[in-house]
Structure 1
Amino acid sequence: MKRLQAAGSALALALMLGVPAVPASAGEAVNLILNWTPTADHSPFYYAKAQGWYEKAGIDLTIEVGKGSGVSAAKVGSGVSAAKVGSGGSPFGIADLATMLVAKSKGADDVALMSIYANTGQTFYWLKSYGVNGVKDFPSQKIGNPPGDASRVMWPAFAKAAGIAPDAVSFVNIGPTAKIAALKSYTVDIISDFYNEHDLKVIEFGPDLGFVNWKDIGLNPYGNSLIVNGAYLQKNPKLVEEFVRISQKAFAACVADVTPCLKALLDQVSGLDKENQERQWERIKYLMTDEFTTTKGLGWIDGERMKKDYELVQTYLGMEKPFDVSTAFTTKMLDPAVKMDASKVKK
C-alpha cells in the first residue's frame, strides 16, 4: 500500500510540475557514416547534434567515422565495412558523388540528398624540387593515398582528361594523416588530398609546393555530399526531410559563424588543431559555393551537372549496370529558403 501511495504521490508531483510521469520514448536511432575521420567539413553535424536539433526532431544520431567514400558508398560484398549506405547498413553517409555513382551502377541503393562540396575538392600535391612541375610529369611517379580514396577510384578519369595513360603511375597505400609526412620524406612523389587541407601544405612546404585541382583540367564533378539509402528514404521520407533540413540549417549557421561549430567538433574529436580547422573552413566555404547553392538552396544538386557527372563516370570508368541518373539524387528534401551566403566566402 505504501508503494502505491508513493507512486501516486510521484505521479501527482510530476503532473503538477508538468513533467512526464514516464520517461519520454527515445528518438529514432539514426547512423551517419562519414567519408573519413572528422574534420571541419563535418563540424555542422556535430554542432547540430550538440545543439539538440536532431534530438528535438526525434532523431537519435550516431556519427560514425568512415574509411573513404568508396567504403561509405559501396555495396556490401567488398568486405571492407558492414556499415555502408548502399546496403542499408547505415541510413545516411557522406560520399563523393562520382564514387557514389560507380557504387550505384554496381547495385548500391544510394540517393544523394545535399551537396557539401559543390566544387570538387580533389587535388594533387607535389614538390617542385623533386622534379614534378605539372601534370605532364606525373608518369612514372608514385602517388600516395588510402586505397578507398575517391581520387584513386576516379584516377582513370583524371588520367584521360590530363592525357596520361591510366597505368603510367603507381599507387602507394598511406593513411589520411600520413600524406604530408610521406611527401616530405619522398616516400611518394605526389599525394592526393582535399582542397580544404591546402593551407597546411602551404605552411609546410612554402613555394616548393605544386598542386593541381581537378577543376583546373576541366573536371569538376560534385564532391562530398550527404547520401541516404534508397529503401530507407522510401520508408522514412519525413525523417529524412527533417535530417536534411536540420543539417542544411547547421551548415548555414556555421557559414555565418564557425566558432561554435568547431567547438562542438573539437569537444567530440581529439587530435585536431583548432587553427588548422579554421583555415580549412575558409576553403570549405569556397567549395560549397556555386550558382545553384547561392540561388536555389544551400546543398542544391543540379540535374544537368549530375548528367555530366554520370557521363564522366560512364566514359572513364564504365557503368556495370547503367541507370537513370535522376534516380540518384533528389532536392525535394532541401529547404529553398536556406541559401549559401557568398558574402562569407573569401576571394
Structure 2
Amino acid sequence: MKPPRSVLFGLIAVLAAVTAGCAPGAGGAAAGDKVTLLLNWYPYGEHAPFYYGKQQGVFAKYGIDLTIQPGQGSGRTVQATAAGQADFGWADTPALLSAVDQGMHVVSTGVYLQTTPASVQFFGDKGIRTPADLKGRTVASTAGDALSRTFPIWLKANGLSPDDVQLQNTDAAGKIAAVISGRTDALLGNATDQGPTVQEKAGRPVTAMRFADHGLNFFSDGLITATGNLTAKKDLVSRMAEATSQAWQQAAKDPDAAVAAMRGASAQLPSAAVLAQQFAATLTLLHTAATKDLPPGVDDESDWRATISVLATAGLIKVARAPSAYWDGGRP
C-alpha cells in the first residue's frame, strides 16, 4: 500500500498558501485559482461536501475559487474533463476506466466512494430478502452502463444466472417510474440516489440490496482530471485533492449543515429529506477494509487491482492495465 498522500498534499498546500501570501486556516487567499468542477449528474446528496467545502472556505484555504457545475452522466463528465472543458470532474470509476480504454487522457486523483453503491432497489413489501428472491423477477436497468454490465457477475456470485432475472431496459427516469407504477419489481441503481426519491414519491419504504453486501465490490465515484494536469498543473492538482478530502471530512462531522449548504444549488435539487438520506447513505461507502483508517480519497492499490479485475470480467474494458494507468496515486 502506498503511504497516505494527504500528508504530502498538506505540505504542498501549506507552501502554496504561504507563497500566495496567505496562511492556511486564515480564511483563504484574497484571490484563488479559478477552478471548475463538473459533477457526474445534477446535484444530489452525494455532492454535499463540495457545496459545504465551498461555503465554509475549505477550498479557498487552499487557494481555490471553486465553481461547481452539474453533469449529465459520468461518461460525459469524463469526456469533458479529458478534453479540458473542466479542470476536474466527479465521476464513476467504471466510466474512467472505459475512457482510458478508448484512449482518453484522464486520470483519478482519488476515489471517495470506495464501496460501490450499486444495488437492486425495491419496495420493502415485495418479499425480496436475499439475492435468491430475485429469481423470476423483472428489474429495470439501463443497457450498457456499469450496473447492467456487472449485474450478471453479481448474480453468479450469488448462485443465480442472468436468465433467472428479466431486465427491462429504460433510462434513469424510466427506472424510477417503472418501479413506482409496478411494471417492474425492482431497479438497478445506486443506493445513494434513487431509493430515497422513490420512497418519497410513492410514500412506501424502499430497500436497497447492495452488491457489496453480497459478494461484489468495485470503486465508484471520485475526483478526476486530465492526465496532462499532473505535470502542467501539478500544484493545483495536489491542492484540489487535499481540499476535497478536507471538505469530505468536515461534511461528515456535520451532515445536516453539509446538506443545508446545497440549498439553491439546482432547480432539480431533491427535497431536504431526500438529500439527507442520500448523504447518509454515501457516508457508509467511503472506505474498504484496507483504507478504514485513512482520510477520504486515499486509495489502496490492492483495491484498484480488484476493481480493474471486476470491470475487465464484466467486459467494460478490453485491456486490464496496471493501477498507475488510471490513478495518480499509483505512480512511483
So what's the TM-score if we normalise by structure 1?
0.73
From 309, 315, 318, the equivalent of 1:317 is 315
Q: Partner letter of residue 105 of structure 1? A: D
Contact 1:116 1:223 in 2 (8 A): yes
Contact 1:156 1:317 in 2 (8 A): no
Cα deviations across residues 7-58 of structure 1 (Å, max 9, x unaligned)? xxxxxxxxxxxxxxxxx99643322121122112111111222234434544
From 108, 120, 124, the equivalent of 2:120 is 124
Matched, 1:251 2:256: no
Q: Partner letter of residue 190 of structure 1? A: A
Give the structure 1 partner of residue 270 of structure 2.
272
Give the structure 2 partner of residue 303 of structure 1.
301
Cα deviations across residues 55-109 of structure 1 (Å, max 9, x unaligned)? 4544332222122223323x4xxxxxxx2x2333323112222332222222122
Contact 1:111 1:230 in 2 (8 A): yes
Give the structure 1 partner of residue 85 of structure 2.
89
CA distance in 2, matches of 1:139, 1:59: 51
Give the structure 1 partner of residue 280 of structure 2.
282
CA distance in 2, matches of 1:211, 1:146: 17
Contact 1:37 1:65 in 2 (8 A): yes
From 37, 42, 67, the equivalent of 1:37 is 42
Q: Partner letter of residue 309 of structure 1? A: T
Residues 53, 87 of structure 1: alpha-carbon distance in 2 compared, 3 angstrom cutoff: same
Give the structure 2 partner of residue 195 of structure 1.
191
Q: Partner letter of residue 250 of structure 2? A: A
Give the structure 1 partner of residue 289 of structure 2.
291
CA distance in 1, matches of 2:171, 2:304: 31
Residues 331, 242 of structure 1: alpha-carbon distance in 2 compared, 3 angstrom cutoff: same
From 210, 215, 219, the equivalent of 1:213 is 210
Residues 191, 325 of structure 1: alpha-carbon distance in 2 compared, 3 angstrom cutoff: same
State the aligned residue count: 299
CA distance in 2, matches of 1:324, 1:243: 24
From 232, 237, 253, the equivalent of 1:235 is 232
Where in structure 1 are there 5+ consecutive unaligned residues? 1-23, 76-82, 334-347
Matched, 1:72 2:77: yes
From 96, 100, 104, the equivalent of 1:100 is 96
Residues 210, 252 of structure 1: alpha-carbon distance in 2 compared, 3 angstrom cutoff: closer
From 33, 39, 42, the equivalent of 1:28 is 33
Q: Partner letter of residue 227 of structure 2? A: G
Tell me by how many angstroms 1:257 deviates.
0.8
CA distance in 1, matches of 2:257, 2:124: 38
From 166, 172, 177, the equivalent of 1:175 is 172
CA distance in 1, matches of 2:145, 2:312: 19
CA distance in 2, matches of 1:158, 1:128: 21
Structure having the higher Rg? 1
From 57, 63, 67, the equivalent of 2:68 is 63
CA distance in 1, matches of 2:197, 2:316: 35
CA distance in 2, matches of 1:132, 1:314: 30
CA distance in 2, matches of 1:318, 1:276: 31
Tell me by how many angstroms 1:226 deviates.
1.4
Give the match's secondary structure for 1:268: coil
Matched, 1:115 2:111: yes
CA distance in 2, matches of 1:37, 1:146: 18
Give the match's secondary structure for 2:228: helix
Tell me by how many angstroms 1:330 deviates.
3.1
Quote the RMSD (CA, aligned, Å).
Answer: 3.2
Contact 2:312 2:318 in 1 (8 A): no
Q: Partner letter of residue 272 of structure 1? A: P
Q: Percent identity over the alignment?
A: 25
